[in-house]
Structure 1
């Protein structure tokens, strides 16, 4: 049974059709690339899966349950988390506080207990700090825990956003251009990180990325969309050799000899 299934999903903004009849499914533990030219509708698909946009037509299933047009908070609670094409951190908070904002949902104390600083509050706060540091350790940011988020280099901000998504304990992780703005060395490190978190947290992952070296390294299977419609769904070898994909997006540099 697929963990995620899109069935003829369409999104219209007035008279503009952003995506049309998109259908694909992900099995548990897959890592799938979602590629296409700028404006193809990739991020729109992420926004439909996560409830940011309402679906105009079609259905989205997660663990065989419809999440179509469900409230985004409920979708997160069911086990779907994401990062964003444009980084969305709490810039004025510290690196650790960015993780704690997610973990506070686990804090089982009330305002009165906070005001008098009961032993329970101190214990829970200590546990939250330790858990936050665990997530920062996974992405290699523990030494920056007290730094303001906006003081981090761009690539580190990307890693912090991934750590915050992991703190939501997802089953399905949507990564929207995680290598954007990274140099080749940082991109290679990101590939290793994504592999590590996939295995560590037993994740299924959908990856939007324009760095094709990252996509080809990570994704055995790739879904290609163009002008809001499915172009193909196949192995990376099939995608690299499909003339429609080469014409629409990849170019000859990514074709096999």
Structure 2
């Protein structure tokens, strides 16, 4: 769940986040229907853009214990990150914790009222599994990707055609981006949700491809998960 500005708690969005010790991948179901285009994105308010920005992203992760903070460094994402993705965390028990963060937007006049552009939020996360996690990388001139797999869950984020993250985002960039949450059920990998519903482009790679010796993905490390797969 997520709560903005101490308002109502929202529970309609599904999220699968796999966190290893220094790497992560995160994909979220779209809380809106229909195709996401650059024109539609630019017309969105700050709250809708928050959801669009985080439909899928992956990268590296750092943390500190005092105070307890986490920072996610986005390597692959649908849109460029304008501000550091840093939050405080609070463990409730062994499998549940709260993430306290701030969303900044470009609406209003931040010079006359700096707090107007900052929206505090709280996310409630539940751990499904504690690892170990496999971290896979795809590093080619025209293809970049990061995938994390743990137990029966996987998140695969990739872009192709050498399309860098643009600001403002362009149609060509989004057509060459994919982030998908997968679950292994009854002998096969099945899609839970992903960016195909919003961007119209199916994933080019699946978790099954990672085990193919001819696949260009490289297993970078297999380590105990820091949080394991999480559901919001």
Q: State the TM-score, normalized to the length of structure 2.
A: 0.28
Higher helix share: 1
Larger % of strand: which? 2
